[in-house]
Amino acid sequence: NAGVTQTPKFQVLKTGQSMTLQCAQDMNHEYMSWYRQDPGMGLRLIHYSVGAGITDQGEVPNGYNVSRSTTEDFPLRLLSAAPSQTSVYFCASSELRRYRGLNGYTFGSGTRLTVV
């Protein structure tokens, strides 16, 4: 089925470890983004991309890196994990049709990350 695929679904890291959260979409969407959601909170934007080779920072980018080498993939790298990065991470994608109406995002099912 078409959609946004996130891996892994669950991950436990030790403080200081690094890892990459994977996100792939098969809808040829130009726009991709990463959000984090802390307990009882709304989603906060980490990084986003409007196309291959183009990325930009969102609201809470510190401690995270992204790259966009293909339209389909948008991995999120945690450089040195900290307990404050314990959260649920969501990847989302969307078509990007300026001035013709922006369509809705499709979200992945999330990665639940715990840093101990």
Partner 1 sequence: DAKTTQPNSMESNEEEPVHLPCNHSTISGTDYIHWYRQLPSQGPEYVIHGLTSNVNNRMASLAIAEDRKSSTLILHRATLRDAAVYYCILRGDAGTSYGKLTFGQGTILTVHP
Closest separation in Å from C-beta 13 to partner 1: 21
Binding of partner 1 by 98 (CB under 8 A)? yes
Q: How far is the CB of 43 from partner 1 (least distance, A)?
A: 4
Contact 94, 103 (CB under 8 A): yes
Chain centroid to CA 69: how far?
Answer: 15
C-alpha atoms less than 13 angstroms from C-alpha of 20 in its C-beta half-sphere:
9
Residue corresponding to tokens 């969102």: 58
Contact 41, 87 (CB under 8 A): no
Which region among 10-18, 20-28, 62-70, 95-103 touches partner 1 (by CB under 8 A)? 95-103
Under the binding rule (CB under 8 A), the answer on residue 25 touching partner 1 is no
Nearest residue (CB) to partner 1, 86 versus 107: 107
Among 13, 24, 43, 115, which residue sits at the site for partner 1 (rule: CB under 8 A)? Answer: 43
